[in-house]
């Protein structure tokens, strides 16, 4: 073998070896793929997803399924380049920079705690939204779960503080408190009135700019509702707030005679406020694939996700726009009866 041929052969082996090594090197990306679905009017591990005690309930049929996104990667378990490349090729998954899911200045344990609290808040907000839709009264209190170390609220507000008002505005729910804080410019102060033990205190907290530019004080809150009957939601390890709309519809379906779905396989997503307003979520493309894989033919879509959803919707999945829970109920009534308007998503 000539020296030239040997050199080319060795160079080829070297390139191949480097390519193999490089393919298995960790990269700062996260792969998002369709996650499991759960029927909110069905069961998980032989237990009802939604259990209601102290109030009459009614039989249900069909499904009102929440959808999820599974992910690979993260600071503690980075994916390799080969996994990222496979994700880029697969149209049903998305590969995104790690920092879009895990903020670089956040402890993963704090993110996990926040997701857990968001899921609890989502379940409570869903119950409140369903009761509001049915005009059933309830009480609530907004409480402090934790403060973020190094942020202005740290050392000023304490775990267990019950927030009565913020800047004189009654703390009717978590969103009222959050929106009032965000309405300030970074550096301005917010006046909290809290109940701590037996005392009522005024606590002034300065604000700072958060990672995305929103004004914040570094406060994690939870609304403690006092409902006139017990609503228990069992979804295992699912976290985050995006199942709120489907929880609220599942609760309403169980509390009312008749069948909200008409026996159809319905799936959907969206955060929910106690007022019934539906909010946007992430991972809409993967959630639609998961919904169709689970047999859904109709997908309830937050209005702010419609434009993206239309571009990525699997063939045969009907997208129904849901601005509010009430709108979603009317749309399901129209689908069931064949009468009335069914608002569709458009490309915006």
Query: Using one digit for the tens of pLDDT, what is the confidence trace for 20-38?
Result: 544 456 777 777 888 889 9
Q: Name the least confident of 150-164, 226-240, 332-346.
A: 226-240
Sequence ranges of the chain with CATH classification 2.30.42.10: 139-226
| Architecture of the CATH domain 32-105+230-337 | 2-Layer Sandwich (3.30)
Structure tokens at 146: 């934790």
pLDDT attached to residue 98: 72
Catalytic residues: 242, 287
Angle of helix 108-133 relative to helix 244-255, nearest 10 degrees, comes to: 30
pLDDT attached to residue 128: 93
Closest CA to 159 of 145, 149, 174, 173: 145
Angle of helix 325-337 relative to helix 244-255, nearest 10 degrees, comes to: 60
pLDDT attached to residue 277: 95
Sequence ranges of the chain with CATH classification 3.30.230: 32-105+230-337
Q: 81, 25 in Cβ contact below 8 A?
A: yes
Q: 113, 220 in Cβ contact below 8 A?
A: yes
Question: Within 13 A of 297's CA, how many CA atoms are on the CB side?
Answer: 8
CATH of the domain spanning 139-226, picked from 2.40.50.140, 2.30.42.10, 2.60.120.330, 3.40.50.300: 2.30.42.10
Structure tokens at 309: 């959803």
Q: What are phi and psi of 98, to 5 degrees?
A: -55, -40
The 10 Å CB-count burial string (b at 16+, else e) for 44-57 is eeeebbbebeeeeb
pLDDT attached to residue 2: 58
Question: Mean of the pLDDT values across residues 193-200?
Answer: 95
């Amino acid at each position: 073998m000539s020296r030239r041929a040997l050199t080319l052969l060795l160079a080829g082996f070297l390139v191949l070896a480097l390519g193999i090594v490089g393919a298995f090197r960790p990269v700062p990306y996260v792969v998002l793929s369709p996650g499991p679905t759960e029927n909110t009017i069905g069961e998980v591990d032989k237990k009802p997803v939604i259990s209601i005690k102290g109030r009459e309930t009614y039989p249900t049929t069909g499904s009102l399924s929440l959808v999820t996104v599974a992910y690979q990667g993260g600071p503690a378990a980075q994916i390799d380049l080969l996994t990222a490349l496979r994700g880029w090729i697969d149209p049903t998954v998305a590969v995104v920079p790690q920092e879009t899911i895990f903020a670089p200045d956040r402890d993963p344990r704090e993110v996990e705690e926040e997701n857990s609290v968001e899921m609890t808040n989502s379940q409570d907000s869903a119950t409140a939204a369903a009761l509001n839709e049915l005009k059933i009264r309830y009480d609530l209190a907004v409480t402090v779960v934790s403060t973020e170390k190094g942020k202005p609220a740290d050392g000023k507000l304490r775990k267990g503080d019950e927030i009565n008002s913020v800047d004189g505005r009654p703390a009717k729910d978590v969103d009222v408190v959050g929106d009032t804080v965000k309405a300030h410019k970074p550096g301005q102060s917010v006046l909290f009135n809290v109940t701590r033990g037996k005392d009522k205190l005024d606590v002034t907290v300065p604000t700072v700019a958060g990672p995305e530019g929103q004004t914040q004080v570094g406060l994690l809150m939870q609304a403690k509702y006092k409902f006139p009957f017990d609503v228990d939601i069992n979804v295992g390890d699912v976290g985050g707030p995006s199942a709120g709309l489907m929880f609220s519809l599942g609760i309403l379906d169980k509390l009312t005679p008749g069948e909200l779905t008409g026996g159809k396989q319905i799936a959907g997503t969206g955060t929910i406020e106690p007022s019934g307003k539906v909010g946007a979520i992430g991972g809409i493309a993967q959630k639609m694939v998961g919904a169709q894989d689970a047999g859904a033919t109709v997908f309830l879509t937050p209005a702010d996700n419609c434009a993206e959803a239309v571009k990525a919707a699997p063939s045969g999945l009907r997208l129904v726009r849901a601005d509010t829970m009430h709108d979603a109920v009317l749309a399901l009534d129209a689908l069931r009866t064949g009468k009335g308007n069914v608002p569709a998503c458009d490309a915006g």
